[in-house]
A and B are shown apart, each in its own frame.
Chain A
Amino acid sequence: MINKLFIIFKKDFLSARRDAMATYIMVIPLILAVGITLFAPGLNDTTVKLAMLKSDDIEHIEYMEQFSKVELFDSMDELERRVEKRDDIAAIAPNGNSYEIILQGNESEIVEEYAVLLNTYYELGSTKEETTAQLISFGRTVPPLKTMLVNILILMTIMLAGMLIAISIVEEKAENTINAINVTPISQTAFVVGKSLFGSTVAMLGIIGAVLITGFYDINWFMIVLVGLTSMILSLVVGFIQGLSSEDIMEAAGSVKLLFLPIAGSIAVYELLADKWQWTMYWSPFYWAYKANTMILSKTADWGTVLLCTAMVIGLSLIVYLLSLPKIRKGLS
């Protein structure tokens, strides 16, 4: 049995190498991880931007630079043209003995609030030197936005593996190799597991590489591998069902599109909704995988929660698998 599984794994590996498929599953997450590493610092530092006049009081400019990104302009015309551009930026310009805040009118409320607040503190003469406040740090260096992007990358890789399995099965169906399997000594289960081994191994390597590139070295690797492997079961089940139930590549493409819904929904609910609404996504295994990964990457995970999340992923995947078993059998026969 093990030997046969390995033969299918090897066959898949060789044919995938010809099509550069394995390279895609492994290399794409790595390239995206490099992108996140370059991209995340800028995305994290999105303090409100201010436009000011070069002729303004240097003290005023320096004061504002402590709290926001400041762009300087030669004239009021230039200043107003900058404010009218597509992004959110507020201007603070002298107006008689005081200052005025200039907005385009479609900025988010926080931009106006922030600009008003900063100018208020400036006019009150409030400085860092007179503070009684103390800052105490937990020493975390990875911003939540980066954690979120890496977590999305992990889910995308899992989905990528599922998509590729679905596509490879549809192509095997088109070439009638699935029928050929039925007349070989390889059982249907061995075929399913063998095909899965390839996708999951390569995707797992891609995930580990991506997590390392993005700088998450000191996380609990046992936990991340456990969640990764259980999530793979999910993507394999989904990939198989999509591949076997799709008559052609168009149907597989449609199913892939549908798969975006529970993934995007799980992320949106976890990140945006209050605790009392989290239950709305309990049915989605992607939700549990995302939750577990978030806790592991932010180093707040405990084994109890991680095991609960993985049990939910496995349980829900098994339910989907069992419900789809007749379809899988039909697709293989």
Chain B
Amino acid sequence: MKLLSNYLKEMKIAARGFYFYIEIAMAIILLAILLLAVSETSTSNRKQFIYNDMPQKIVEYLKDRSIEKGEARLANSTEFKLKPMEFEIMNQETGETTAYDFDDEKIIELETIQMLDSSTGELDETVYYVETEEDMIRLAYGESEMGVTAAMNARGKVSYQYYLQGYETDRLKNLLYILQNESRDAVNAKKDKQVVRTLEVTETLNNRENLVPIFIAYMGSLMGFFIVMAYIFYDKAEGVIRAFAVTPASIWKYLISKIFVILTTVVVSSSIITIPVMGGQPNYLLFYIFLIITTFAIASLGLLVASFFDSISKAFGVMYAIMISLMIPAFSYYIPSFDPLWLRFFPSYPLLQGFKEIMLNGDARYVLTYSFVFLVGGLILFVLADIRFKKTLTV
């Protein structure tokens, strides 16, 4: 009963303050961004500058053939500004270096072709046809993109020179060496014969849906860590916590009521983002269980950290370091082939993956296992925070 009245009192105070409404406003802004600014399909912004050292008729023929086959489409021509610049290039085979020094500034308009993904028909790469090799090299350097010279010899064989930035991996360079060894027809014929077997029938999130776990995890659960600390330091400054030393109320009830306020805010703001974007796809029971437990665990960590300091500015270093380190697993979330073992020890790793599974209505066992882990971890942190606060009531 005391717990409920504590919670209601805290909610009334929160509703009077500005913060609760910032959370709601933030959720609405993020929802608007997701619905209006983020498309469901991702668009590639890879560029390549090509100089064709061959008769124009052949260039036109090759281009028309790609367009007819649905491998490419014509786009509006694009303007590029060439600025004065000087640089050196080195041929990796011969070691020969060439220095370039351009003093002039000019604007050129380039014919633009969009190369399409053979299976999905979506934009794969934008290719710009440049009229002189010098301009192509200048653009590849200035725009930090790949440049290519395609030259045809007297026997009709095309050879390629790739202009790379220099930081490309050896594996990519090896691929470039073999990429044009065979004719495109031979490659396509062989590709069609490749057998691909999938082990599971799994759903994937589209570009827009893929952002929901990130927003929920970072703007919801993880922000609970920061906000609960702000609440505690606010009360410390006002002397509220010290007042508990002379009341019959238990400190844990006070602490849990703070967490309940965070939970209410996080549940409301996360629902505002998730429901309109994901519709009926996620398992909402699992979603709320996971959301509440993870928010509780991370807010408990915030309470424990707050118990060691008496003002937010003193706690700032630890708080900021923890928040930044919790953001690191986002790299693995976005680059799934980057998944080192050490990254899995960050609590935000299962947090992001758990929300992803929920959005996919996928691996419930993974979500429940980590719900249990977060619950146990959260309880331990909460008990430790309670002990710390009892000890430091008079500080």
Contacts and interface: CB of A to CB of B under 8 A. Distances in A.
B316 A24 contact: yes
Interface string B220-247: 0001001100110110010000000000
Interface in B196-241: 196-204, 219, 223, 226-227, 230-231, 233-234, 237
Given A100-B197, A123-B190, A258-B22, A27 B317 contact: yes
B93 A134 contact: yes
Interface residues of A, number: 98
B160 A254 contact: no
A134 B162 contact: yes
B321 A31 contact: yes
Interface stretch (A215-223, A245-253, A315-323): A245-253
Contacts of A257: 22-23, 26, 219, 223, 226
B44 to A, nearest CB: 10
A133 B162 contact: yes
Nearest to B140: A138
Given A134-B160, A139-B166, A28 B320 contact: yes
Interface string A20-60: 11011001100110000001001111111100000000000
Interface in A101-116: 101-109, 111-113, 116
A133 B159 contact: yes
Contacts of B201: 105
Given A261-B26, A302-B83, A137 B165 contact: yes
Nearest to B158: A132
Contacts, number: 266
B106 interface: no
A167 interface: yes
B65 interface: no
Contacts of B45: 272-274
Interface in B155-186: 157, 159-167, 169, 171-182, 186
A300 to B, nearest CB: 6
Contact of B234 (A168, A250, A261): A250
Interface stretch (A82-90, A179-187, A232-240): A82-90
B248 interface: no
B17 interface: yes
A255 interface: yes
A108 B336 contact: yes
A136 B164 contact: yes
Interface string A149-172: 000000010001001100110010
B321 A28 contact: yes
Given A48-B337, A103-B197, A140-B165, A135 B92 contact: yes
Contact of A102 (B89, B190, B199, B316): B199
Given A67-B174, A67-B175, A128-B174, A141 B166 contact: yes
Interface pairs A-B: 9 shortest CB-CB = A87-B339, A254-B22, A24-B317, A88-B336, A253-B230, A132-B159, A105-B198, A140-B166, A106-B202
14 contacts: A45-B169, A102-B197, A105-B198, A116-B191, A116-B196, A121-B182, A127-B178, A132-B157, A132-B160, A138-B140, A141-B167, A249-B234, A255-B22, A258-B26
